[in-house]
Amino acid sequence: MTDTPTKQENQPKAENIPSSNPNNEQRRGNRNNERKRNRRGDSKNERDSEWQERVVQIRRVSKTVKGGKKMSFRAIVVVGNEKGQVGVGVGKAGDVIGAVRKGVSDGKKHLVRVPLTTNNSIPTLSKGRDGAANVLIRPAAPGTGVIAGGSIRTVLELAGIKNVLAKRLGSKTPLNNARAAMVALSQLRTHKSASRERGISLEQLYS
């Protein structure tokens, strides 16, 4: 009797060709994109965690339009990282949360870099004016603390200043006082930068 070949013997041998499934490649691409998005989200959260936000004032305001009055909320927000950067923002929206969110984004657009000394104070005396508000800021010895009031204190604390004396000399409006404090902080210069601008040495500047 002759042996009849089986079905397995009749079938040709499959070559070792790597199977490429488009679905698997798509899944790998989706996983890689998700990892990239997670990394971007983590870095963004780290940047956002550096900033602190404090609401100075929330007021209900109205705008007269055709047919009546349109009510909304205005929020004054101070944003800072306590490392020499601070900003004051104003936001207005139909709800309080939206107004605060707009104030935070506006404050980050108007940041001011403050030069800090080793004692967490300011290098020199500075004056600022905005509208009818006058603010005087003076350096202080270590251990003095932040001697200020109102919105000026909030601006100085979020800027990272630990020892300072401040006095409000004009209007009591929180927004004008905060902006006047920002003007005073933006005018600060270190002794090294002042000597460089004037073209003299530090010894000549101190004398």
Report yes or no on 92 lying in a domain.
Answer: yes
21 pLDDT above the threshold of 70: no
Task: Tell me the two tokens of residue 84.
Answer: 């020499």
List alpha helices for the chain, DSSP H. Answer: 7-10, 22-50, 96-109, 150-159, 174-186, 191-198, 202-206
The total number of structural domains in the chain stands at 1
Task: Tell me the two tokens of residue 156.
Answer: 């100085």
Q: How many whole angstroms separate alpha carbon 178 and alpha carbon 57?
A: 11
Residues 6+ apart with CB under 8 A from 24: none
Structural domain that includes position 61: 52-192
Report yes or no on 163 lying in a domain.
Answer: yes
Q: What is the pLDDT of residue 45?
A: 57
Report yes or no on 46 lying in a domain.
Answer: no
1 pLDDT above the threshold of 90: no
Report yes or no on 107 lying in a domain.
Answer: yes
152 pLDDT above the threshold of 80: yes
Report yes or no on 44 lying in a domain.
Answer: no
126 pLDDT above the threshold of 80: yes
14 pLDDT above the threshold of 80: no
Tell me, what CATH number does 152's domain have? 3.30.230.10
CB 139 within 8 A of CB 122: yes
Q: What is the pLDDT of residue 47?
A: 58
**Which range scores top for mean pLDDT: 27-31, 144-148, 190-194?**
144-148
Q: What is the pLDDT of residue 133?
A: 94
The residue-averaged pLDDT of 46-71 equals 87
With CA atoms as reference, report the closest residue to 80 among 2, 158, 176: 158
Q: What is the pLDDT of residue 93?
A: 94
Task: Give the pLDDT band (50/70/90) at residue 22.
Answer: low
Choice among 41-45, 51-55, 134-138, 184-188 with the minimum mean pLDDT: 41-45
Residues paired with residue 75 on neighbouring β-strands, in sequence order = 58, 91
Task: Give the pLDDT band (50/70/90) at residue 151.
Answer: very high
Residues 6+ apart with CB under 8 A from 170: 129, 132, 133, 134, 135, 176, 180
Q: What is the pLDDT of residue 17?
A: 47
- By percentage, how much of the chain surpasses pLDDT 90? 56
Q: What is the pLDDT of residue 194?
A: 76
Q: How many whole angstroms separate alpha carbon 13 and alpha carbon 2?
A: 23
Report yes or no on 106 lying in a domain.
Answer: yes
Report yes or no on 187 lying in a domain.
Answer: yes
Q: What is the pLDDT of residue 2?
A: 47
Report yes or no on 63 lying in a domain.
Answer: yes
How many residues does this entry show for the chain?
A: 207
